[in-house]
Amino acid sequence: MAGKPDIQRPDIRRPDVRRSVQLDSVRGVAAFIVLIYHCSLTMPASWQSADQPASLPRYLRPGFLLHYTPLHLLVLGPACVLLFFVLSGYVLALSLSGGRFGGYGRFVIRRICRIYIPFAVVIMLSALAWRIVQPTSLPDVSVWFNAEQWSEFPSAMLLLGHLAMVGTPPLQSLDPPMWSLVVEMRISLIFPLLYFAVTRHRAAGLAVVAALYLPACLILSQRGETMPQSFSSSICGTLAYLPVFAAGIMLYEKREMLHSLYQSMSVARRCAAALFAILGFALAHRAALWLTAALPSVPFVRPQVLAGLVSLMFWQVMVGGAAAAIIFMALYSDICRRVLAARPLQWLGTVSYSLYLTHMVVLMAAVHALHAYLPLPAILGLVIPLALAVAALSYRWIEEPSIALGRRLARAPRRTPVIAVPQAPNMSK
């Protein structure tokens, strides 16, 4: 049926199929969590506190529910982005293994069509929506929403900066989650080199990754930039996630050994592994904030630069390890595989990239267009189904044709020049 993603029932007994629907489902759940996270950030500061609003009992206040109950898992947006990166490393390694590489040009063409073309279309649509809605500063929403979302007039230069993926905050205002797509696209351009370096020359490859990662993190810490403010900082920000993609590659390379280890584990140890994944995701951000505050008082890490570097590394190791555990459980845990094979989660996985790409445009447009008519909680309640509907349309009319184009271009035979050679005259006549 037109407009409805084609979902096939997977064979849940085969964890090593070429396209794992379980991993698609993980990606879909993560994209949905990012949507909820951004909705929560839109709420005013008073609503993000466990002490407000006073008219509600403490255990019913949004701030309390989202930060001190298991519902906290629904607002782990930054951790889910790190999960995307580990997952990309794993899936791209799968696509390059076993003689399936097919050449650098074909790989880049597929990645451009897969990531960049839908991104460019959504940026243009966001600029159009900005001109229709004409956003202004709103009362009763967060400073984050007023200051950073749709904060710049979509001039021609601003559009060019977005489409060039410069990666600085003003040039991300039309679709703020694009910062991670900038990282993904840049690393895609060097991913075959990263893959072959890590798999064929592991020690040297990982040493090169570390040699790029550590100076980049030090530069960002020295500049005090959690979000890159210049193009050079943006490049450093990309390199700061290089080990996360390398972790995805290593997870793919060691999958059989890890599977054998998992099979030999007792039920209690398997449950402990699942608990580590959940707690690593839930607690890493809070632990990193605590570490950032505590480290400057420790004598041997007194410089703030080193404190920032250590806290960033701690967060990446903790969340990256949890992300790898989640991916592994999705592939090899029978219970997880059956849950993730559910049709609603498969559908969510199918539209996950479109959901991630479009949800902030839907959120910004809905809040600005409806703020005069509906209370903010009602608008945010409408944003969730609306974002899912827009994601389905985006998948059908933007993402799916882009993927098909990439496949056609990658399959196109390379033409070799034909040189006309003059024939010798027939002397028999």
**Digit-coded pLDDT (tens) for 23-73:** 999 999 999 999 999 999 999 887 777 777 777 777 778 778 888 888 888
- Token readout for 88 is 């990309």
- Looking at residue 294, what is its pLDDT? 66
pLDDT tens digit sequence for 336-392:
889 999 999 999 999 999 999 999 999 999 999 999 999 999 999 999 999 999 999
Task: Name the least confident of 76-85, 152-161, 236-245, 291-300.
Answer: 291-300
What is the chain's alpha carbon radius of gyration, rounded to the nearest angstrom?
Answer: 24
* CB-CB contact of 357 with 363 (8 Å): no
pLDDT of residue 49: 75
Q: What percent of the chain shows pLDDT beyond 90?
A: 55
Average pLDDT of the chain to the nearest whole number: 85
For residue 414, name the pLDDT band (cuts at 50, 70, 90).
Answer: low
Q: Using CA atoms, how far apart are residues 372 and 135, in angstroms rounded to an integer?
A: 12
Burial per residue of 296-322, b for 16 or more beta-carbon CB atoms within 10 angstroms, e otherwise: eeeeebeeebbbbbbbbbbbbebbbbb
Residues written for the chain? 429
Q: Does residue 86 have a pLDDT over 70?
A: yes
- Which residues have CB under 8 Å from 132's CB, separation 6+? none
Q: Report DSSP state, residue 56.
A: S
Cis preceding-peptide flag for 53 (omega within 30 of 0): yes
The confidence score (pLDDT) of residue 112 equals 96
Mean pLDDT of 185-199: 95
Q: What percent of the chain is modeled with pLDDT above 70?
A: 86
Q: 179 or 47: whose pLDDT is higher? A: 179
pLDDT band per the 50, 70, 90 thresholds, residue 131: very high
The Cα 344–Cα 340 span in angstroms is 9
Q: Give the alpha-carbon dihedral of 121, 127, 133, 135, to 10 degrees.
A: 130
For residue 296, the number of C-alpha atoms closer than 13 Å in the C-beta half-sphere is 8
* pLDDT category of residue 316 using cuts at 50, 70 and 90: confident
Q: What is the per-residue pLDDT for 19? A: 55
For the residues of 93-137, what is the DSSP string, one character each? HHHHSTT----HHHHHHHHIIIIIHHHHHHHHHHHHHHHHH----
